[in-house]
Structure 1
Amino acid sequence: MRSTKQFGLILAVTFIGEILRFLIPLPIPASIYGLVIMLIVLKTGIVKLEQVKNAAGFLIEIMPLMFIPAAVGILVSWDALKDIYIPIIFITITTTIIVMVVTGRITQFIIRIEKRK
Structure 2
Amino acid sequence: MQFLNGITLLLVYQLVGEVTVRLLGLPIPGPVLGMVMLFLTLMIRGRTPQSVDNAATALLSHLSLLFVPAGVGMMAHFGRIAEEWLPITLALLLSTILTMVATALIMQLTTRWLAKPAGQGGCKDE
Determine if the TM-score, normalized by the shorter chain, exceeds 0.5.
Answer: yes
**2:14 and 2:31 in contact (8 A); partners too:** yes
**Residues 60/111 of structure 1: CA separation in 2 closer, same or farther (3 Å cut):** farther
Is residue 79 of structure 1 aligned with residue 46 of structure 2?
no
Q: Percent identity?
A: 30
**Residues 90/76 of structure 1: CA separation in 2 closer, same or farther (3 Å cut):** same
The AA in structure 1 aligned to 2:37 is I
**Residues 64/111 of structure 1: CA separation in 2 closer, same or farther (3 Å cut):** farther
The SS at the match of 2:17 is helix
Deviating above 4 A after TM superposition, structure 1's stretches of 4 or more consecutive aligned residues are none
For the aligned residue pairs, the C-alpha RMSD in angstroms reads 2.2
CA distance in 1, matches of 2:93, 2:60: 23
Number of aligned residue pairs: give it. 116
The SS at the match of 2:115 is helix
The Cα shift of 1:54 comes to 2.5
- What are the ranges of 5 or more consecutive residues in structure 2 without an aligned counterpart? 118-126
5 Å-filtered alignment, 1:1-117, equals 1-45=1-45, 48-51=47-50, 52-116=52-116
- What are the ranges of 5 or more consecutive residues in structure 1 without an aligned counterpart? none
- Choose 1 or 2 for highest CA Rg: 2
**Residues 44/112 of structure 1: CA separation in 2 closer, same or farther (3 Å cut):** same
**Residues 19/110 of structure 1: CA separation in 2 closer, same or farther (3 Å cut):** same
**Residues 28/5 of structure 1: CA separation in 2 closer, same or farther (3 Å cut):** same
The Cα shift of 1:16 comes to 0.9
